[in-house]
Amino acid sequence: MSMDLTAGPGAATELRRGAEALLAHLAAGGTTPFTMPKLPDIDGYWLPPAIEALVAIMSGDDPVEPLSRAAQRDEQHTALFLCLALAVAGQGDRIHASWLGIAFGELSVDRPVTHGQRALWIAAARGAYGPAGKIFVLRKLDSVTLPADENPGRWLSALVPAEPAVVVPPSLADFPELAEIPEIAEPTQAASRLARLRGRCVEITSSRRPEGSPSPPLGNQEQRPATAWQHDEPLAVLRTLVGASGPEGPMGSLVGYLLEDLSPGADPDLAAAALHVVSPIIRSAAENLAAATKTAPPTSITAPLLGHSIVLRPAGPDASSLAAAEREIVHSMPPRPGPARPYGAITLGVVLVIAAVVVCLWGAAGWALVAAAVLALAGIGLGGFGAWLRHTATLQAQADAQAVAGQVAELRELAERAVAALHEYAREAEARAKAADDDLAELTRLIRRGPRAI
CA gap 376, 380 in Å, rounded: 6
Q: What is the pLDDT confidence band of residue 103, given thresholds at 50, 70 and 90? A: very high
Give 352-407 pLDDT, tens digit per residue: 777 777 777 776 566 767 776 777 777 777 777 767 777 777 767 776 677 777 78
pTM here is 0.74
Q: What is the pLDDT confidence band of residue 222, given thresholds at 50, 70 and 90? A: very low
Query: Domain-by-domain residue ranges, the chain?
Result: 303-444
- DSSP label at 252? B
**Cα-based torsion angle of the residue sequence 430, 434, 435, 437 in order, rounded to the nearest 10 degrees:** 140
Q: What is the pLDDT confidence band of residue 117, given thresholds at 50, 70 and 90? A: very high
**In terms of Cα–Cα distance, which of 258, 238, 257, 240 is closest to 249?**
240
How much is the pLDDT for 224? 42
Q: What would the mean pLDDT of 313-327 be, rounded to a whole number? A: 84
Between the ranges 305-309, 368-372, 424-428, where is the mean pLDDT highest? 424-428
**Whole-number Cα distances in Å, 317 to 59, 183, 403:** 85, 18, 21
Q: What is the mean pLDDT of the chain?
A: 81
CA gap 159, 199 in Å, rounded: 10
Give 11-41 pLDDT, tens digit per residue: 777 888 888 888 888 877 665 555 676 777 8
> Percent of the chain, pLDDT > 70?
81
- DSSP label at 295? P
CB 451 within 8 A of CB 205: no
Q: What is the pLDDT confidence band of residue 236, given thresholds at 50, 70 and 90? A: confident
3-state SS, residue 173: coil
CB 352 within 8 A of CB 379: yes
How much is the pLDDT for 77? 94
Give 169-217 pLDDT, tens digit per residue: 998 888 888 888 888 999 999 999 999 999 999 999 886 554 444 455 5
How much is the pLDDT for 453? 39
